[in-house]
């Protein structure tokens, strides 16, 4: 059964960081803390995906990744969620729709790295996501220019907030998004896997 955090209160702003977390690492913690400060979040949840539909090679077993996430976030106040496993869907749009229906008075903000914005137009129902849920895009090394020139960024430039106004995400009636510059971490799950520092099923 899915383990929910203590029930969020109406009006709270909860950041959602989704991904495979294959494996989770200090970079994930770094952008989580960064988002908490920049957006003045009431809480932050990691949504561990059962798999990435845009990648042919599947991730490590979900139980392994959930355990690693919970060990890494122990004592941090970050909630690690297996909700996408329970929903039986790796698609962000389905997860966001479910959460918005379950907690209609809670304000969710989708968090992602700038590298993901470059390919955001390949996500299922990506226009619905950006038109419905506030989104904070956090800088990644070498990715800011590509992110700013991406199809999603260009099509929805009229909804973009300047970084200095990012605290409004989740607090305005209209869904908005912002690209946040700041201190970056060069850690990546791909590099850890390629170095042999993460063994599937290990």
Instruction: State the Cα–Cα distance between residues 133 and 92, nearest whole angstrom.
Output: 11
Q: What's the rounded Cα separation, in Å, for the pair 76 and 196?
A: 27
46 forms beta bridges with 17, 80
CA–CA distance, 117 with 114 (Å, rounded to integer): 5
**pLDDT, tens digit, for every residue of 5-39?**
567 888 999 999 999 998 899 889 988 999 999 99
Q: Tell whether the model's pLDDT for residue 151 goes beyond 60.
A: yes
Whole-Å CA distances, 171 to 33, 45, 108: 19, 18, 10
Q: Which residues contact 199 (CB under 8 A, 6 or more apart)?
A: none
Least confident of 11-25, 52-66, 94-108, 148-162: 52-66
């Amino acid at each position: 059964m899915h383990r929910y955090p203590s029930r969020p209160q109406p009006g709270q702003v909860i950041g959602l960081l989704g991904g495979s977390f294959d494996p989770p690492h200090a970079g994930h913690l770094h952008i989580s803390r960064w988002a908490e400060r920049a957006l003045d979040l009431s809480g932050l949840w990691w949504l561990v995906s059962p798999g990435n539909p845009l990648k042919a090679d599947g991730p490590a077993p979900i139980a392994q990744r959930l355990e690693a996430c919970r060990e890494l976030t122990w004592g941090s106040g970050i909630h690690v969620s297996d909700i996408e496993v329970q929903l039986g869907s790796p698609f962000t749009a389905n997860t966001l729709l479910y959460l918005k229906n379950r907690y209609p008075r809670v304000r969710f903000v989708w968090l992602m790295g700038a590298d993901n914005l470059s390919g955001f137009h390949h996500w299922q129902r990506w226009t619905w996501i950006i038109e419905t849920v506030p989104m904070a895009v956090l800088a990644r090394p070498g990715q800011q220019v590509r992110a700013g020139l991406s199809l999603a960024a260009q099509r929805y430039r009229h909804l973009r907030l300047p970084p200095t106004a990012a605290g409004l995400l989740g607090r305005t009636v209209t869904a908005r998004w912002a690209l946040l510059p700041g201190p970056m971490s060069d850690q990546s799950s791909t590099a850890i896997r390629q170095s042999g520092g993460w063994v599937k099923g290990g």
